[in-house]
């Protein structure tokens, strides 16, 4: 299973012709590209299921919600997908994005709820060394680089801005991703590379799961 060249070509075209008349006229191009991405997503889910338990997965809608946006273009010029792990003791979510010149594969914790966010911050305040050890390992660092996510400009309420781990405590999301060129996306082994990349994030998921599910053991 692979990403077809016509899928990237469609994304380029919809980016240049982001309007309803063009899209309606070329609806079949979209349907073909969507089917290609859906099949790829299914293959990724099957691959991950060999080492994890995937509860559900979905391809994100190409139709943009423009109600509260200044940008009124109706369509996304990318295909994104997410895969949800099964059960309360499997935290973290996988995702990937296919976009001309901006494709990536990764996952993590995007805008966690306030209870989970506080638990994560408290853990970093107590001892962030185990987390730093995971993300500084050569294989992890080479694959994902630095942690991503929006952050506060100062310390959250109740935390010391001089805390040595304030760089982590300030964050509001915690995720990692690996970028791929268009040539890599179209290569025969992109499915294998996608699954392998997502598998490499598991040590991080396992660590965060321990933090967020400790109360389940009581």
% pLDDT > 90, the chain:
92
Query: For residue 151, what are the β-bridge partners?
Result: 171
Helix H, strand E, coil C: the string for 130-189 is HHHHHHHCHHHHHHHCCCECCECCCCCCCCCCCCCCHHHHCECCEEEEEEECHHHHHCCC
Smallest CA-to-CA distance from 43 within 177, 185, 190, 180 is with 190
| pLDDT higher than threshold 70 for residue 66 | yes
Q: Look over the chain and give the mean of its residue pLDDT values, rounded to a whole number.
A: 94
Kindly report, residue by residue over 18-38, the tens digit of the pLDDT: 999 999 999 999 999 999 999
Please report which confidence band the pLDDT of residue 216 belongs to, taking 50, 70 and 90 as the band edges.
very low
Position of tokens 């079949």?
Answer: 28
Alpha-carbon torsion (143, 147, 149, 150), positive or negative: negative
CATH of the domain at 167: 3.30.930
Range of the domain at 153: 5-217
Whether the predicted pLDDT of 10 surpasses 50: yes
- Give the integer Cα–Cα distance in Å for 112 and 94: 14
Q: For residue 68, what pLDDT band results from cuts at 50, 70 and 90?
A: confident
What's the pTM? 0.92
Number of folded domains that form the chain: 1
Confidence grade of residue 218 (pLDDT, cut at 50, 70, 90): very low
Give the pLDDT of residue 31.
98
d(CA 171, CA 165): 11
Query: Could you tell me what percent of the chain has a pLDDT over 70?
Result: 98
On the question of pLDDT at 217 being above 70, the answer is no
Edge-to-edge strand list for the sheet holding 103-109: 54-59, 79-85, 93-98, 103-109, 174-180
- Can you tell me the mean pLDDT for 162-185? 97
The predicted-structure confidence for 101-154, as pLDDT tens digits, reads as follows 999 999 999 999 999 999 999 999 999 999 999 999 999 999 999 999 999 999
pLDDT digits (tens, 9 = 90+) for 35-47: 999 999 999 999 9
């Amino acid at each position: 299973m692979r990403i077809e060249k016509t899928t990237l070509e469609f994304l380029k075209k919809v980016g240049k012709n982001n309007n309803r008349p063009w899209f309606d006229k070329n609806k079949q191009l979209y349907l073909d590209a969507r089917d290609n991405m859906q099949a790829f997503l299914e293959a990724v889910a099957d691959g991950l299921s060999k080492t994890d338990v995937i509860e559900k997965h979905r391809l994100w809608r190409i139709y943009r919600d423009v109600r509260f946006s200044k940008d009124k273009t109706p369509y996304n010029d990318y295909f994104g997908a997410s895969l949800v792990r099964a059960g309360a003791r499997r935290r973290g979510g996988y995702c990937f994005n296919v976009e001309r010149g901006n494709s990536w594969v990764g996952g993590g914790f995007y805008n966690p709820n306030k209870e989970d966010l506080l638990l994560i911050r408290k853990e970093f305040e107590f001892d962030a060394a185990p987390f730093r050890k995971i993300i500084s390992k050569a294989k992890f660092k080479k694959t994902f680089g630095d942690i991503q996510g929006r952050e506060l400009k100062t310390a959250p309420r109740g935390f010391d801005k001089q805390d040595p781990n304030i760089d982590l405590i300030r964050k509001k999301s915690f995720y990692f991703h690996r970028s791929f060129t268009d040539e890599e996306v179209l290569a025969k082994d992109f499915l294998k590379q996608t699954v392998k990349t997502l598998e490499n994030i598991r040590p991080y998921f396992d660590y965060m799961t321990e933090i967020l599910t400790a109360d389940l053991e009581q």
